[in-house]
């Protein structure tokens, strides 16, 4: 039967059992899975084109509409992490040569710029130092100057710890004939967001943060204005896999019979449905309050340790991911490694413009508790005693 000798032997490493350490994940995500979500992920697979799967997908769409506070019909989950949702927004909303404006106050804006440049858009950036947000006046100036078709803003800037206000930005964009796209990957479920009331045209989020689901899925919704721009494009989007028209059909968001597009990550969708059910059980308001209270408690305890919060204005601090200045004389990597190895806790360093400047601590979903805060504070106290400190 075999026509050639095998040149690669079965790897010895795979003969050993899978080992995964059990850690408390207090970075900016992924967060730990909640126990109901783990259980949901142990079901047998079913076919992606069966009615039972369509029903689960429809439940997920309802759950996303609740989490986003929207009635948009074009609402679905994407097979791919938050970056997929970012790329879907860029690829589908923007045609080559069109003007786009991006709020760049951290890494997420930087990445949108990169994605939009790749498709040949005219990209304009509103760059801010890490740790600041955009006022309505600043955005109005940018819209007047660049006349973009789309404006990108990040609600929860997880690389810098900033919470971007959202009231009034949608109306402002619409007065300038522009669509508002908002990234809520790090904030959904942890900070209030009202897609329809705030006039957001495209909102997306991820599965692995407050939702405590496995990474690898993103959630997205499009307003009627955004849908109309996509359905009236002059050119096809450059990607087949990420073509919203095709995805809209497969997810039952147009009025045509569903047609196979790609094989969706079925087990991860079971888990996501459970996460959304948990959020619906708890209620958005309760979830927002839980994150606010846990994070404020964390902030007080960090300050008691003599540490400095990176975001100065209290109301601009993200209630899910906290950035704290790397304590003077310490190397951030020694601290994160010490917590991982000695205390079984994950926290991480900065990213993009905040690299080397901060430590990032996330309290996401089931991890947003006083007990998590007490554990990480104890571990940090220990790290500050044991990690090397330069005398500078
Ligand atoms: N946007 C924000 C605000 C994020 O925090 C992240 C993930 N840290 C992303 C986008 C990208 O998501 P993913 O890593 O799931 O692709």
| Residue range 65-107, pLDDT digits in tens | 999 999 999 999 999 999 999 999 999 999 999 999 999 999 9
The answer to whether 337 and 346 have CB atoms below 8 angstroms apart is no
What is the residue whose two structure tokens read 């200045």?
325
Q: How far away, in angstroms, is 3 Cα from ligand 1 center?
A: 46
> Nearest C-alpha to atom 1 of ligand 1 is from which residue?
185
Q: How far away, in angstroms, is 84 Cα from ligand 1 center?
A: 10
Say if strands 162-163 and 75-79 run parallel, antiparallel, or are unpaired. Answer: unpaired
Q: How far away, in angstroms, is 269 Cα from ligand 1 center?
A: 18
> Nearest C-alpha to atom 2 of ligand 1 is from which residue?
185
Q: How many CA atoms lie within 13 A of 212 on its CB side?
A: 26
Ligand 1 atom index nearest CA of 187: 3
Residue 240 token pair: 């087949």
CA distance 242 to 262: 10
Ligand 1 atom index nearest CA of 207: 15
> Nearest C-alpha to atom 12 of ligand 1 is from which residue?
82
What is the reported pLDDT for 390? 84
pLDDT digit string, tens, across residues 159-197: 999 999 999 999 999 999 999 999 999 999 999 999 999
Residue 76 token pair: 């679905």
What is 36-280's CATH topology? 3.40.640
Per DSSP, 48 falls in state T
What is the reported pLDDT for 66? 98
Could you give the percent of the chain with pLDDT greater than 70?
99
Name which of 110, 116, 113, 75 is nearest 95 in CA terms: 116
207 phi-psi bin (left φ>0, alpha ψ -120 to 50, beta other): alpha
Say if strands 179-183 and 150-154 run parallel, antiparallel, or are unpaired. Answer: parallel
Residues of the chain with CATH 3.40.640.10: 36-280
27 phi-psi bin (left φ>0, alpha ψ -120 to 50, beta other): beta
Geometric angle at alpha carbon 166, from 373 and 302, rounded to 5°: 20
| Mean pLDDT value across the chain | 97
> Nearest C-alpha to atom 9 of ligand 1 is from which residue?
82
The answer to whether 18 and 353 have CB atoms below 8 angstroms apart is no
Over residues 202-219, mean pLDDT: 98
Cβ-based neighbour number of residue 17 at 10 Å = 5
CA 272 to chain centroid? 14
The reply to whether ipTM tops 0.95 is yes
User: 24-31+284-386 has which CATH code?
Assistant: 3.90.1150.10
What is the reported pLDDT for 72? 98
Cβ-based neighbour number of residue 290 at 10 Å = 20
Q: Is 360 annotated as a binding residue?
A: yes
Ligand 1 atom index nearest CA of 83: 16
Q: How far is CA 233 from CA 181, 199, 220, 228, in A?
A: 18, 22, 19, 9
Pocket of ligand 1 (CB under 6 A): 28-29, 81-83, 108, 154, 156, 158, 183, 185-186, 206, 215
What is the residue whose two structure tokens read 């009231």?
167
Per DSSP, 323 falls in state E
pLDDT digit string, tens, across residues 260-272: 999 999 999 999 9
Choose the residue to mutate in 206, 212, 217, 318 for probing ligand 1, maximizing ligand atoms within 8 Å of C-beta.
206
Q: How far is CA 164 from CA 103, 150, 194, 315, in A?
A: 10, 17, 13, 10
What secondary structure does DSSP assign to 94-158, as a single string? --TT-EEEEEESSHHHHHHHHHHHHTT-EEEEEE--TT----HHHHHHHHHHH--SEEEEESEET
- The answer to whether the predicted template modeling score (pTM) of the entire model surpasses 0.95 is yes
Choose the residue to mutate in 111, 154, 186, 349 for probing ligand 1, maximizing ligand atoms within 8 Å of C-beta.
186
Residues of the chain with CATH 3.90.1150.10: 24-31+284-386
Q: How far away, in angstroms, is 152 Cα from ligand 1 center?
A: 14
Ligand 1 atom index nearest CA of 206: 15
Q: How far away, in angstroms, is 83 Cα from ligand 1 center?
A: 6
Q: How far is CA 281 from CA 33, 191, 277, in A?
A: 17, 17, 6
**pLDDT of residue 392 exceeding 70:** no
Ligand 1 atom index nearest CA of 216: 15
1 confidence band (pLDDT: 50, 70, 90): confident
pLDDT digit string, tens, across residues 100-153: 999 999 999 999 999 999 999 999 999 999 889 999 999 999 999 999 999 999
86 phi-psi bin (left φ>0, alpha ψ -120 to 50, beta other): alpha
């Amino acid at each position: 039967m075999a026509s050639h000798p095998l040149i690669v032997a079965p790897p010895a490493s795979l003969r050993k059992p899978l080992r995964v350490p059990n850690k408390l994940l207090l970075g900016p995500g992924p967060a730990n899975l909640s126990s109901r979500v783990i259980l949901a992920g142990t079901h047998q697979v079913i076919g992606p084109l069966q009615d039972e799967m369509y029903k689960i997908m429809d439940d997920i769409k309802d759950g996303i509409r609740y989490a986003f506070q929207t009635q948009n019909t074009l609402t679905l989950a994407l097979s791919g992490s938050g970056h997929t949702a970012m790329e879907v927004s860029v690829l589908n909303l923007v045609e080559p040569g069109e003007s786009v404006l991006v709020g760049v106050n951290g890494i997420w804006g930087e990445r949108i710029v990169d994605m939009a440049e790749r498709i040949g858009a005219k990209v304009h950036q509103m760059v801010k130092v890490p740790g600041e947000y955009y006022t309505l006046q600043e955005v109005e100036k940018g819209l007047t100057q660049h006349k973009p078709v789309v404006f990108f803003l990040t609600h929860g800037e997880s690389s810098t710890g900033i919470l971007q206000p959202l009231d009034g930005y949608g109306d402002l964009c619409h007065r300038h004939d522009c669509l508002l796209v908002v990234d809520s990957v790090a904030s959904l479920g942890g900070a209030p967001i009202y897609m329809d009331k705030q006039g957001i045209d495209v909102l997306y989020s991820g599965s692995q943060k407050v939702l405590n689901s496995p990474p690898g899925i993103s959630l997205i919704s499009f307003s009627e204005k955004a849908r109309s721009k996509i359905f009236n494009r002059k050119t096809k989007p450059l990607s087949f896999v990420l073509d919203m028209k095709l995805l809209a059909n497969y997810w039952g968001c147009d009025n045509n019979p569903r047609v196979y597009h790609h094989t969706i990550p079925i087990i991860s969708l079971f888990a996501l449905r459970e996460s959304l059910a948990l959020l619906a059980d708890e209620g958005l308001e309760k979830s927002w309050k839980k994150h606010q209270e846990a994070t404020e408690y964390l902030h007080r305890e960090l300050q008691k340790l003599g540490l400095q919060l990176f975001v100065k204005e209290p109301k601009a601090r993200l209630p899910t991911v906290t950035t704290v200045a790397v304590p003077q004389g310490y190397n951030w990597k020694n601290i994160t490694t010490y917590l991982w190895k000695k205390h079984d806790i994950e926290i991480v360093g900065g990213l993009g413009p905040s690299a080397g400047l901060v430590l990032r601590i996330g309290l996401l979903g089931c991890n947003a508790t006083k007990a998590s805060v007490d554990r990480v504070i104890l571990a940090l106290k220990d790290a500050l005693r044991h990690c090397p400190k330069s005398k500078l």
